[in-house]
Structure 1
Amino acid sequence: MKTESGIFDRTEKLIGQSGLEILKNSRVILFGVGGVGSFVAEALIRSGVGFLTIVDKDVIDPSNQNRQIMANVKTVGKKKVDVMARRLIAINPLSIVHPMHRCYTPETSQEFHLQDYDYVIDAVDMVTAKIDLVIKSQENKVPIISCMGTGNKMDASRFIITDIYETSVCPLAKVMRKELRERGVKSLKVLYSTEEPVIRETPPGSIAFVPSVAGLLIAGEVVRDLLKTGSIDEN
């Protein structure tokens, strides 16, 4: 992918022109643009993903400023997806960013057309939404990665990407394992932390360097998966 600014020149050194073309032609949908999701979104656009839908129903709150990349005193009170979309387009004006100020639920799932995407990223908090996203993605044969809990943690080096049934420690992962097993889901790629929660508070405590690292790790996994499975149309 060439632009006047040459923003992908150094990326091309790693993945080649063919890799840039794969990412340029990839369509990704991201649910949740918070402490994790905002870093996922930015890393995908900076890596060259050409089409990204971002979904979140919230507006920016002052409490978001400690960890969400688009949150500052000037953006408080604005829709997260709108602020994030403007930020992403300013990074790469040739990318297509589609903001959806919506809440994903089993009842609204048909609004999102998961079958039209190459990858689904779950960075939401609501368990019912996470479970339904997994089921709908797998029904549509679209790869999905789901983020487990990053709150109440302090050690960003403890994140790993594995199957949901290989997780431990994480309270959210425990709930997800149970619910998915009951629904016959055999496997799910997740990011989770092996760190015991430092505190057990609801809403959880958070710090800048933990959810951001989770988001970057997820983005990296998605980019690598897209490059492995992508193909170039020689015609």
Structure 2
Amino acid sequence: MTGDRRFSAIERLFGVEGALRIRQAHVAVVGIGGVGSWAAESLARSGVGRLTLIDLDHVAESNINRQIHATEQTLGQAKVLAMRERIHTFFPQCEVTCVDEFVNPENWQQLVPSDIDGVVDACDQGQVKTFLAHWAGLNSKIFVTCGAAGGKCH
């Protein structure tokens, strides 16, 4: 047993060794909006010990209905900072690195750490999704992609 009761269910499910691997994992979440905020929350609540959150956007009133970090208290804050604050309310030991930048095809390699174990693609840019998927495959990284409309219908 690791002794941290908040993750005892994870330990029962995956064993002590599995829980330790999760605790030592480093995952990047690209896009901290309607999908990425929930993904980051779930990763932290599962015991992932290191997260890199990447997004340039700030919390807006129109985010409140679908983004877990969006509240009256976080309006105007950088999404990555609001998400880190939220994570630290239930998992203060989680190492959260905030990258307050817009990811694009030219800069994604500078923004996504090479030492990650996995990446959650929750961004709106199709080209970035393609680059992340290709890079993750070449480098044997876990890759999870999520559809994102980015407020677009067509």
TM-score normalised over the length of structure 1: 0.60
Q: Distance in 2 between matches of 1:65 and 1:141?
A: 36
Preserved contact between residue 64 and residue 71 of structure 2 (Cα < 8 Å): yes
Q: In structure 2, what is the equivalent of residue 166 of structure 1?
A: none
Preserved contact between residue 48 and residue 94 of structure 2 (Cα < 8 Å): yes
The question of 1:120 aligning with 2:69 is answered no
**Larger C-alpha radius of gyration, 1 or 2?**
1
Of the three residues 199, 203, 208, the one matched with 2:152 is 203
The question of 1:88 aligning with 2:87 is answered yes
What's the CA shift for 1:21? 0.3
What's the CA shift for 1:99? 1.0
Q: Percent identity?
A: 35
Preserved contact between residue 122 and residue 148 of structure 2 (Cα < 8 Å): no
Preserved contact between residue 114 and residue 120 of structure 1 (Cα < 8 Å): no
Segments of 4+ moved more than 3 angstroms: none
Q: Distance in 2 between matches of 1:138 and 1:41?
A: 21
Q: In structure 2, what is the equivalent of residue 105 of structure 1?
A: 104
Q: In structure 1, what is the equivalent of residue 61 of structure 2?
A: 62
Q: Please provide the CA RMSD for this pair.
A: 1.7
What's the CA shift for 1:96? 0.6
Q: Is the partner of 1:63 in helix, strand or coil?
A: helix
Q: Which runs of 5+ in 2 are unaligned?
A: none
Choose 107-116 or 64-73, whichever is displaced more. 107-116
- Summarize the alignment of residues 166-205 of structure 1 with structure 2, pairs less than 5 Å apart: 203-204=152-153
TM-score normalised over the length of structure 2: 0.90
Q: What is the count of residue pairs matched by the alignment?
A: 152
Q: In structure 2, what is the equivalent of residue 7 of structure 1?
A: 6
- Summarize the alignment of residues 8-23 of structure 1 with structure 2, pairs less than 5 Å apart: 8-23=7-22
Q: In structure 2, what is the equivalent of residue 139 of structure 1?
A: 138
Q: Is the partner of 1:8 in helix, strand or coil?
A: helix
Q: Is the partner of 2:70 in helix, strand or coil?
A: coil
- CA spacing shift, 1:113–1:76, aligned 2, 3 Å: closer
Q: In structure 2, what is the equivalent of residue 26 of structure 1?
A: 25
What's the CA shift for 1:137? 2.1
Preserved contact between residue 121 and residue 145 of structure 2 (Cα < 8 Å): yes
